Amino acid sequence: MSELKVETGRVQVGDVSIAYDTRGAGEPVLLIPGLSMRRVFWPEELCDLLARAGHTVVRIDNRDAGDSSRIKAPPSNPLRLMGRALLGLPTEAPYGLEHMAEDALGLMSALGHERFHVAGASMGGMIGQLLALNAQDRILSLTSVMSSPGGRRYSVSSPPALRALFTPLPVGRAERIEHYVRTFRMLAGKLPFDESAARALATLQVDGGTSPAASARHLAAVIRSSPGRRQRLPAITTPTLVIHGDADPLLPLRGARAMARLVPHAELLIVPGMGHNFPAESLPLLAGAIATHARKAGLSKPPEVSAAFARLDLPRAARALRALLNDPDDLPQVFNLIDALTSERQYTRLHARFRQSRAGQRLLREQPDITRLLADREWLRCLPEGSLGRAYLAFVEREQISSQGIREASSAGRPEAKLEGELRFMSDRMRDTHDLWHAAVGYQGDVLGELGLLAFTYAQVQNKAVGLIVLAGLLKGWGEQVGRVVWEGYRRGRRASFLPAQPWEELLDSPLTEVRLRLGLEAPPSYVPVRTAELRAQGVLSGAPAARGASRPSSQAVP
């Protein structure tokens, strides 16, 4: 199984710099950690499982934790605040959980995630509750893990847990690591305690920067925001899943039961033996529960894929690949290969990516036919000099190709298409915009240019057939520069915006430089073009060229 790429970054939200990491593709899921914990509190394995289930997984460092900003404020006294709260007196703190919820909204806005799922652990679950209350139009689903609805009855339940919560952090690095290991052991519940994993997490926590003052401010935020939150929970309309261990020594199970009763239609999952932690043996269960809940509450259920079309056809793929290796210009074989190797999961993942943005949702709803514009060369010629449309026109005229030629090649020798509705539109859209991608991304129409764009496309949509063609080009040695061109294409595809869901019709009259800036496209690569005739003359290719409806392979037939 291929390793998922994890990208890290920071965004400015008001006066606070918020750190995060992200992996995967699909409907976004924001994971919020607990009090004073870094984002690594959410285990890597769980994050990978969610990403492989078809999600963009975003982990956040809350303010005053991890790599996010430390807040400059006078020290808080949590014991004094708790005493005032128990007496029903007003409590003050530098900030509350509502401010941390605003940080999360700002992060997801900066990442382009208009709507998203939320899963919060412990204090993170409390932040998630406020997100579901205060930003219902943006939260697709809420999963509250080992958390509390607020109120004295549902707060810390045992004296050892209270001592762990209020014990000051030691000064030295080694002492702090041991402090965290002891705390993790106390919180572990009845399941086997993995000391090596706990020590690794403790080391990451300490080396990432820990501050007693910051931890106190987090606790003060919880105390400040607790009154009144429980009374508001019945107003949550977001689909909610409550997960809690029956051996949690920090926050009692009765709090989870209360939350499941208070939030309309909430579901409750009780994990036997789980404490206030993420035990390794429970990670598949937890990830599966979060993913299933998100899928039921998602933006839309993906259209069904015909079983005949969704099955992998390895013999057909092998025949198409052999023909394509003999003649890289044999365009119909590209479509045959893609048909044979594209699974149902790839269709549904691409559909989720489209639904992730407003532009993608509008495309699926309206399903415009861009070929009406791309086929009108007189109209394209009237567009401003230097525009994307003029660059596209120059490309297709230089290559002596057309969007209609690609359409004809896509149906040559293929069985009747079994995709319908939105899935059919996505497949056709990627095919029809292939040469527009050439103009926007900056690759020429030669063999290396096609491989560069294929690598770019693979980075964007993770299609197995596209990746196989790229690998074949590397192994066959289609030009001395092939390795560099492929790597540059993949890297640029990872950094760019998601091109399949772009409103290309609205960009045709825009300056090409502005389009590239908007879409995060780096400057076009420089390389010496290599044509198939040259490879044939060098003996890299053998046999006669195949008959075809267009001159080059297309990387954008399907997801």
Residue pLDDT tens, the chain, 559 long: 557 889 999 999 999 999 999 999 889 999 999 998 999 999 999 999 999 988 999 999 999 999 999 988 876 666 666 666 555 666 677 899 999 999 999 999 999 998 999 999 999 999 999 999 999 889 999 999 999 998 766 666 677 777 776 677 788 889 999 999 999 999 998 999 999 999 999 999 998 877 778 888 888 888 887 777 889 999 998 999 999 999 999 998 999 999 999 998 899 999 999 999 999 999 999 999 999 899 888 655 555 555 544 456 677 767 777 776 676 666 666 667 677 667 666 777 788 778 767 688 789 888 999 999 999 999 999 999 999 999 999 999 998 887 776 666 566 555 555 667 788 899 889 889 999 999 999 998 888 888 899 899 999 988 887 888 888 777 776 556 788 888 999 999 998 989 999 999 999 999 999 999 999 998 777 776 665 555 555 555 554 444 333 444 444 443 4
The dihedral built from the CA positions of residue 470, 473, 479 and 480, taken in this order, carries a sign that is: positive
Pair of tokens at residue 452: 């560069």
Q: CB–CB of 352/117 below 8 Å?
A: no
Residue with tokens 């919880």: 222
Distances (CA, A) of 7 to 10, 22, 24, 139, 456: 11, 5, 10, 23, 17
Burial class (CB in 10 A: 0-12, 13-18, 19+), 86: exposed
Q: CB–CB of 61/205 below 8 Å?
A: no
Pair of tokens at residue 382: 């009237």
The CA distance from 378 to 189, in Å, is: 72
What's the pLDDT at 553? Answer: 42
The yes or no reply on domain 7-297 and CATH 3.40.47.10 is no
Pair of tokens at residue 449: 């240019």
Kind of pairing between the strands at 139-145 and 240-245: parallel
Q: CB–CB of 118/139 below 8 Å?
A: yes
Pair of tokens at residue 494: 């990872």
What's the pLDDT at 283? Answer: 93
Q: Alpha helices, DSSP H only, in 438-539?
A: 447-461, 464-476, 482-495, 504-507, 512-518, 532-537
Q: What is the CA radius of gyration of the chain?
A: 27
Name the nearest CA neighbour of 559 among 350, 416, 378, 384: 350
What's the pLDDT at 551? Answer: 41
Amino acid at 103: D
Distances (CA, A) of 146 to 149, 247, 274, 295: 10, 10, 9, 21
Name the nearest CA neighbour of 218 among 21, 31, 38: 38
Burial class (CB in 10 A: 0-12, 13-18, 19+), 506: exposed
Pair of tokens at residue 280: 């390794």
What's the pLDDT at 311? Answer: 59
Residue with tokens 């791309």: 374
Q: CB–CB of 44/51 below 8 Å?
A: no
Q: Where are the domains of the chain?
A: 7-297, 313-537
Per the DSSP assignment, residues forming a β-bridge with 245 are: 271
Q: What is this structure's pTM? A: 0.57
Helices and strands, counts by H and E, the chain: 28, 8
